[in-house]
A = this chain, B = another copy of it.
């Protein structure tokens, strides 16, 4: 039982009984930090996991109840459910039941928050509990607290970020010369990537985080499915080589912009200038750049994933709850992701060379009023599998896609051209 401690209470601290749901990478790190640092006012009372016997850890403290009975833990006197199972189900159901019972919930589950955050926050408010998810975006980097508490006074107009550590690990290794398949295998061996890497490499994870940030920073509620992510699997060694010749590298970038109420958002591999902050990010690092109307650019970076960094965000949320610190919840409006970025693009072709190719491509671009910036062809490739690159001045994606639709019918193409946005 949590002892009522008048010294704590006089400082406004409410001792909290904590139940962890899901004792995996992050869940066990949370228990580890609580056991080692003993943050005032926090007591781990329950751990729920399937087949929980495997998980039992003496260091977590003698009074912890280890349970595989979710109903019993939800019905217990725990004040806060810390959901670290992941996925929409059954995690979402447990969270709803906890909130309906007036408990507070802390979670790192970006997918659930991206799709159901608004509804869950309302549920929390209705029953007097709190929902916190500081770990859901950029793991251990305090972007969510920074936005909610420190940038609420600004009007955020643009978000750019490297929001998925797995993709950044893979692309920064490819940048240094590695091939996709062995780097993915390495990421899986190191525990950075799942057995099925689709959520990460397909851009779905970054998209969920972007949607959460858009709501908190830009105050727009978008349906994450309206942001169609581009997978990083399309990028090859030749693209890194051409990118470098253009003074760039390639990273998975998530970005959103709000201009006169119009919202644009994309996620996918993107060319970024070697001198831009995002090009600094190495390995599993995350980075977020928020551009405010009044405050200009603010950059956050650090470890976006990993058990311990993510657990820091979870424990910080718990400490804030114990201190009675409420979230700053600013109303958001529903919005459609309908606008487009007007940005330069990189288009890489792989052709069986013959006369007239550049003429046809430039013709298709000209018909859409897209201006060529540069045509680059490196030496050393065979004529029957020749990669070359066209970069174009800022244009809308839709115009470029129309041009590419006609270009794609060209007989000389060995594969569909790869078009990437270039960040300026």
Interface string of A308-337 (1 = CB under 8 A from B): 110111111111100111111111000000
Stretch at the interface among A86-94, A112-120, A141-149, A253-261: A141-149
User: Contacts A146-B142, A146-B145, A154-B316 hold; do A308 and B294 have CB atoms under 8 A apart?
Assistant: yes
| Contact B125–A316 (Cβ < 8 Å) | no
| Contact B323–A325 (Cβ < 8 Å) | no
Give the secondary structure class of A's interface: mixed
Complex: how many Å from CA A302 to CA B292?
11
Contacts of A57 in B (CB 8 A): none
Contacts of A143 in B (CB 8 A): 150
Contacts of A313 in B (CB 8 A): 150, 153, 295
A162 smallest CB distance to B (angstroms): 13
Which residues in chain A, 261-314, are within 8 Å of chain B measured between CB atoms?
Answer: 277, 280, 292, 294-303, 308-309, 311-314
Stretch at the interface among A32-40, A168-176, A242-250, A395-403: A32-40
| Contact B299–A301 (Cβ < 8 Å) | yes
Kindly state whether residue A155 has any CB partner on chain B within 8 Å: yes
Kindly state whether residue A151 has any CB partner on chain B within 8 Å: yes
- Report the interface size for chain A: residues with CB under 8 A from the other chain: 59
The residue in A144, A150, A152 that gathers the most chain B C-beta atoms within 10 A of its C-beta is: A150
Contacts of A29 in B (CB 8 A): 294
A9 smallest CB distance to B (angstroms): 13
Kindly state whether residue A417 has any CB partner on chain B within 8 Å: no
Kindly state whether residue A11 has any CB partner on chain B within 8 Å: yes
User: Contacts A312-B292, A325-B328 hold; do A146 and B150 have CB atoms under 8 A apart?
Assistant: yes
Contacts of A301 in B (CB 8 A): 277, 298-299
Nearest B residue to A310, CB-CB: B295
| Contact B296–A309 (Cβ < 8 Å) | yes
| Contact B294–A309 (Cβ < 8 Å) | yes
Q: Which residues of A contact B (CB under 8 A)?
A: 11-12, 29, 33, 37, 39-40, 125, 134, 140-155, 277, 280, 292, 294-303, 308-309, 311-320, 323-331
Given contacts A37-B153, A141-B150, 17 further A-B contacts (CB under 8 A): A11-B329, A140-B294, A142-B142, A142-B151, A145-B146, A146-B146, A146-B300, A149-B149, A153-B314, A294-B312, A295-B303, A295-B312, A296-B303, A298-B302, A300-B300, A323-B326, A323-B327
10 A–B contacts from the bound complex (CB under 8 Å): A134-B150, A140-B298, A142-B147, A142-B149, A146-B150, A148-B149, A153-B315, A153-B317, A319-B328, A326-B326
